[in-house]
Amino acid sequence: MERRAFYRNPILPWLLLAPQLILVLVFFYWPTSQALFWAFTLEQPWGGGNTWAGFNNFLSLFGDTRYWATVGRSAFYAIAATVISMGIALTLAMFVDRALKGTRLFQSVFVWPYAIAAPAAGVAFRFIFAPEAGLIGAVNEIWPGIWNPATNGFHALGMVIVCHAWLGIGYNFIFFLAALQMLPKSLSEAGAMDGARPYRRMLDLQLPLIAPTVFFLLIMNLISSFTDSFGLIDVMTEGGPINATEVMVYKLYVDGFKGLDYSGAAAQSIVLMILVIALTFIQFRWVEKRVHYN
């Protein structure tokens, strides 16, 4: 029998919802509407009105080869960070789920990275990967110049991707472990009795059964890679060297807040939002067909 909550005072539920509705309106819908308006106008850097520009901001944006390079870099960043983070998290969850010795301790330790703020992690990884100190410094003494993210764009991008993936491991680990522990142990035991190794049991038995969790984490990780990379890049590389780590969300910041091109930055934000929505739609439209919930 379906149960519903009824309030004697019809105003009370709206009062309870009001704080959340105000937050969503002020910090999401209002900025989005302003960005949409600015994307079709030419805003003065220091105020003083605006001029209607139509689709000129978007045409200028799509005609910029630097912007397309940023889009490709963002796609590579998102795919690499997602694969690394989810792959490591799934591996750790598989070991913890097997209840090996000391897994309870590691179960809590693996979650810690999720509690660290991105800028703090960026500062730590910047020192860890510094070419003049630590392990990397010792390697550079043997092979001078083999690692230097300050001058090599590929090294810098790889450093940021590793840091982003590390931050997401804790989040992914929690969901993977919860999904694995929901599976009947008899399935893995039956596979082991049939002679299947742990790797085959994971691929043939466990992974198909936790497909809904994998699908959810795939969406969340890709969205995070496109939208939450600003803090890391700003602290670790500032988009350098020579724009090698400049992804879409960071270019938006540079053009809007440093270049004072508010209209161009607004157009970029609209494109980024549409890209994330389209990516999510594609995953639900085609990828979800391979996911079985029963």
State residue 290's pLDDT score.
Answer: 66
CA distances from 232 to 142, 236, 261 (A): 29, 6, 23
Mean pLDDT, to the nearest integer, of 282-291? 73
Give the start-to-end residue ranges of the domains of the chain.
83-290
Q: Tell whether the model's pLDDT for residue 158 goes beyond 90.
A: yes
Q: Which residue has the higher pLDDT, 279 or 247?
A: 247
State residue 163's pLDDT score.
Answer: 94
Question: Which fold is adopted by the domain 83-290?
Answer: MetI-like fold (1.10.3720)
- The SS3 of residue 1 is coil
- Of 53-62, 70-79, 111-120, 200-209, least confident by mean pLDDT is 200-209
Mean pLDDT, to the nearest integer, of 92-118? 77
Mean of per-residue pLDDT scores for the chain:
86
Which residues 6+ apart lie within 8 Å of 264 measured at CB? 57, 60, 61, 255, 256
The residue type of 164 is H
241: preceding bond cis by omega (within 30 degrees): yes
Question: Residue 51: enclosing H or E segment and its boundaries?
Answer: strand 50-52
Angle at 36 between CA 34 and CA 38, to 5 degrees: 70
Distance in angstroms (rounded) separating the CA atoms of residues 245 and 237: 7
> pLDDT tens digits for 212-266?
889 899 999 999 999 889 989 999 999 988 889 999 999 999 999 888 898 999 9
State residue 271's pLDDT score.
Answer: 93
Distance in angstroms (rounded) separating the CA atoms of residues 110 and 96: 10
How many C-beta atoms surround the C-beta of residue 31 within 10 A? 12
Listed in sequence order, the DSSP H helices in 63-116 are 65-97, 103-109
Distance in angstroms (rounded) separating the CA atoms of residues 61 and 92: 42
Give the E-state strand segments of the chain in sequence order: 41-43, 50-52
CA distances from 125 to 18, 29, 82, 122, 267 (A): 41, 35, 18, 5, 32
Q: Comparing C-alpha atoms, which of 230, 273, 271, 278 is closest to residue 68?
A: 271
Mean pLDDT, to the nearest integer, of 50-62? 90
